Amino acid sequence: MSDELNIPILTVLRTKTALKVIINDIGKEGTQGVFLWGPPGIGKSDLVKQIADETGSDFRDVRLGQLDPVDLRGLPVFDHENKRSEWYPPSFLPDTNTKEKGILFLDEINTAAPAVQAAAYQLILDRKVGDYTMPENWIIIAAGNRRSDQAIAYKLPSPLANRFTHIEVTHNPDEWRSWAYAHNVDPFIIGFIQFQPDALFRFSGATSETAFPTPRSWAFSSNLQGLRDEDLELYNSLLGGTVGKAAAQQFIAYLTYRDTIPSPVDILEGKEYIPPETPDAMYVLMAALMAELMRSTKAKFNDATTNFMKYVSSYENTPNADHGIVLIKELIRASGAKKLPAKSSTSPTKGRLKAKTAGNYISLVVQNDEYRKWQKRNGKSMK
């Protein structure tokens, strides 16, 4: 439970599971809105948008902190025939008559001025505002920062707070790495977070830092990787402006091991290579190797898996024998699966095996002869 808010704390993945259950109950009596609390950069907004995509729900994103009180009600239009005015609701509200399910996402709700919050009362409490009525198959999800995050946040009035199920969202490095593999995040960043998990999120409302590491800022940093080999000095500066100077310096130090590791392509193509000798270098290579394996084409996937498993097997009966187990567990994480299936249950499609759909293809690994040999020797260690 959160000491500050006295509400349950869930990881992003657990929050997603909870929200999907609630969304499936839309239309049932008693279904109420959900309020997601958490620090900036944790991924609250992206999480709600992702759930909308995965559940086939329409999605409207409304930033209440940017609205005036009159914006929620809409504009009055004079009806000359009946000599009265009607209110036209704003376009960001869903059509009352729609049959499609959807999510109305009220972001930054507790940064909205009290007058705007008051205007939102009726919409949230009664699912109405003025003459407008929310469609039955829509749910309201709100999000906001905690007051300890030093955000400009107003206290939610008790009647409004009582209309929500409250969840505090927290980060989890393992979950984030699975997400990062699926979204083609720079593999060196993924490896760094594996090596130093506490670097994923460092934020304290007590400090005045402008740039700091969060799941969101590390994902943004991935867009800078093309600059790394062209202008390292500029890359360092921009990275520091994205995740903060301290985290950037640690990541740059981590990158120095790049020159000590073999090419992931050479390993997967079965070429000769000199294996990394230090744990740091092993972790640097690991994420790059996973990303390269997930990029293998259908035609080359089995050969790449064979050579990957030979690399894994090379750690057996060495002081670093545990690293082979770590590699297989990271392969499972990169696939988005919870474990390797007992046998293949999917037929791969044509083209490149992208990480976003790697879970559909990773079952091919268990058919690989080298994997089967390794599994016989090391299966008990995976339990």
Predicted TM-score of the model (pTM):
0.81
331 and 267 in a common domain:
yes
Does position 124 have pLDDT exceeding 50, yes or no? yes
- For residues 29 and 152, the model is more confident at 152
225 and 334 in a common domain:
yes
80 and 57 in a common domain:
yes
Does position 371 have pLDDT exceeding 50, yes or no? yes
Cα of 262 vs its chain's centroid, Å = 30
Give the CA distances from residue 310 to residues 70, 166, 285, 344, 359, in Å, rounded to whole numbers and listed in that order: 66, 48, 15, 21, 22
355 and 339 in a common domain:
yes
Question: Is residue 216, in this structure, part of any structural domain at all?
Answer: yes
| Residues recorded for the chain | 383
* Host domain of residue 46: 9-170
Of the candidates 273, 275, 209, the one whose C-alpha atom is nearest the C-alpha of residue 242 is 209
Single out the residue in 170, 187, 218 at which a domain terminates. 170
Span 70-121, pLDDT tens digits: 888 877 787 777 778 777 888 899 999 998 989 999 998 888 888 888 878 8
Q: What is the pLDDT of residue 193?
A: 93
Question: Is residue 4, in this structure, part of any structural domain at all?
Answer: no
Most confident of 245-249, 294-298, 363-367: 245-249
Question: Is residue 60, in this structure, part of any structural domain at all?
Answer: yes
Q: What is the pLDDT of residue 161?
A: 86
Arithmetic mean of pLDDT, 129-145: 89
197 and 118 in a common domain:
no
Most confident of 26-40, 171-185, 364-378: 171-185
Q: Residue 21 — φ and ψ, nearest 5°?
A: -65, -45
Question: Is residue 3, in this structure, part of any structural domain at all?
Answer: no
Residue 205 pLDDT level (bands cut at 50, 70, 90):
low
Question: Is residue 1, in this structure, part of any structural domain at all?
Answer: no
CA dist., res. 217 & res. 39, Å (int): 13
Single out the residue in 114, 141, 170 at which a domain terminates. 170
80 and 52 in a common domain:
yes
**Residue tagged 């720079």 (tokens):** 186
Question: Is residue 2, in this structure, part of any structural domain at all?
Answer: no
* End-to-end Cα separation, the chain, in angstroms: 30
Q: What is the pLDDT of residue 382?
A: 66
107 and 16 in a common domain:
yes
223 and 253 in a common domain:
yes
- For residues 148 and 11, the model is more confident at 11
Query: Residues 311-329, buried b or exposed e (16+ Cβ, 10 A)?
Result: bbbebeeeebeebbebbbe
Number of domain units in the chain = 2
Amino acid symbol at 233: E
195 and 121 in a common domain:
no
Does position 150 have pLDDT exceeding 70, yes or no? no
Q: Residue 6 — φ and ψ, nearest 5°?
A: 60, 45
Single out the residue in 117, 144, 170 at which a domain terminates. 170
Please tell me whether residue 303 adopts helix, strand or coil conformation. helix
Span 262-303, pLDDT tens digits: 999 999 999 999 989 888 889 889 988 988 888 887 788 889
153 and 179 in a common domain:
no
Cβ-based neighbours of 276, under 8 Å, separated by 6 or more:
257, 260, 261, 262, 282, 284, 285
Question: Is residue 72, in this structure, part of any structural domain at all?
Answer: yes
363 and 323 in a common domain:
yes
213 and 333 in a common domain:
yes
What CATH number is given to the structural domain containing 73?
A: 3.40.50.300
